[in-house]
Amino acid sequence: MTLTLDIDKPSEKKPAIVQTIFLAAGLALLVLAPLFFYPVFLMKLLCFALFACAFNLLLGYTGLLSFGHAAFFGGAAYFTAHAVKEWGLPPELGILVGVMGAAFLGAIIGFLAIRRQGIYFAMITLALAQMFYFFCLQAEFTKGEDGIQSVPRGHLFGFIDLSQSTNMYYFVLGVFIIGVAIIWRIIHSPFGMILKSIRENETRAVSLGYSVRNYKLAAFVMSAALTGLAGGVKALVFQFATLTDVSWQMSGEVILMTLLGGIGTLIGPLFGAGLVVTLQNYLATSEFPVTIITGLVFMVCVLLFRRGIVGEFYNSRLGRKLGFEHRH
């Protein structure tokens, strides 16, 4: 697997206009979506899309495959749920608690994991995330198998009633846009350039004097914090936090979403998340197990579109014409 796909970057001015149009159309679609779709479904989709984008900051742009991101997603869901329900914090502060908690967990797990590379890195993140899972299973505040139930959504800034699903949807959309904008900024920054160079040739980065571990740890914590943002919001959307979100299957699911959409593309994970969540939603009522279907979709994608859906589009003739330059 080569983690060498390029960022979504316009090569010339004209394609930049095309991309602006795409962006505007996408935003319009998201703003109008609740007129056509069930808001809770859309909110779920946005939460997972943000989760996958945050995960991709690490996999696609730093070249680190974490198999423990459920700890940050589910952990933040617990923290936010607890802060809102037990401490009575308003939703914005509750989410902040989730983000900080996830960042803190990220600092610990990242600090231990970045000492190793490749599959060892993935295994250490998995092991530590499993430890956190069992902590959540046993701890008092997570309520064990039941999870934290009936979490109030509260009032945003004290006056916007989030129990109204339309209000909640636009709040989630706002958080999503801010989250993706932060990721975009990190990727297209001087710091992002160094991350990219580490992904491309770690030894050379060291010999240029970069303390690679510090950069990796910083990227890990940022990814964990943004994952926490998604997890915290999800707890408010569904009004509960349970063990599902900290389980290893969740870590696997986000990898699936990112690979399906396209590693190293900013919006690829969004599409991947959309596909997986939609499949899960529509197949939830069928007799047939969803996991088999998503597994098959994944296999087909790996065989047919190795770069992921968005990655293949960027690399197609049309994509190139539109200026979605894709180096590999």
Partner 1 sequence: MTAALKEQNGAPRVVLSARGLRRDFGGFTAVNNVNLDVHDARVHALIGPNGAGKTTVFNLLTKFLQPTGGTITLLGEDITRMAPDKVARMGLVRSFQISAVFPHMSVLDNVRVALQRPNGLATQFWKPMSALDGLTAKADHLIRSVGLDKERNAVAADLSYGRKRVLEIATTLALEPKVLLLDEPMAGMGHEDVGMVAEIIREVALKRAVLMVEHNLSVVSTLCHHVTVLQRGEILAEGDYAEVSADPRVRTAYMGTEEV
Length of the chain equals: 328
Cβ nearer to partner 1, comparing 74 with 192? 192
CA atoms within 13 A of residue 295's CA, in its CB half-sphere: 6
Q: Which of 159, 323, 163, 319 is nearest to 237 (CA)?
A: 163
Among 44, 82, 196, 307, binds partner 1 (CB under 8 A): 196
Is 19 a residue that touches partner 1 (CB under 8 A)?
A: no
One of 189, 244, 249, 291 touching partner 1 (CB under 8 A): 189
User: Closest separation between CB of residue 161 and partner 1, Å?
Assistant: 33
Our finding on whether 116 is near partner 1 (CB under 8 A) is no
Q: Residue 288: in which H helix or E strand, if any?
A: none
CB nearer to partner 1: pick between 20 and 244: 20
DSSP string, 29-81: HHHHGGGTS-HHHHHHHHHHHHHHHHHHHHHHHH----S-THHHHHHHHHHHH
Question: Which is nearer to partner 1, 85 or 216 (by Cβ)?
Answer: 216
Residue of the chain from 131, 178, 193, 318 that contacts partner 1 (CB under 8 A)? 193
- Which lies closer to partner 1 via its Cβ, residue 2 or residue 244? 2
Handedness of CA 114, 6, 270, 303 (dihedral sign): negative
By the rule CB under 8 A, 188 interacts with partner 1: yes
Distance set, CA 198 to CA 58, 62, 202 (Å): 12, 7, 4
- Contact between 113 and 216 under an 8 Å Cβ cutoff? The reply is no
Sign of the C-alpha dihedral computed for residues 258, 263, 264 and 265 taken in this order:
negative
* Binding to partner 1, residues 202-241 (CB under 8 A): 203-212, 218, 222
Find the shortest distance in angstroms from Cβ 223 to partner 1.
Answer: 12
Q: How many residues bind partner 1 (CB under 8 A)?
A: 29
- Binding span for partner 1 by CB under 8 A among 75-83, 111-119, 169-177, 186-194: 186-194
Q: Which amino acid is at 178?
A: I
What residues line the site for partner 1 (CB under 8 A)?
Answer: 4, 6, 185-186, 188-194, 196-197, 200-201, 203-212, 218, 222, 327-328
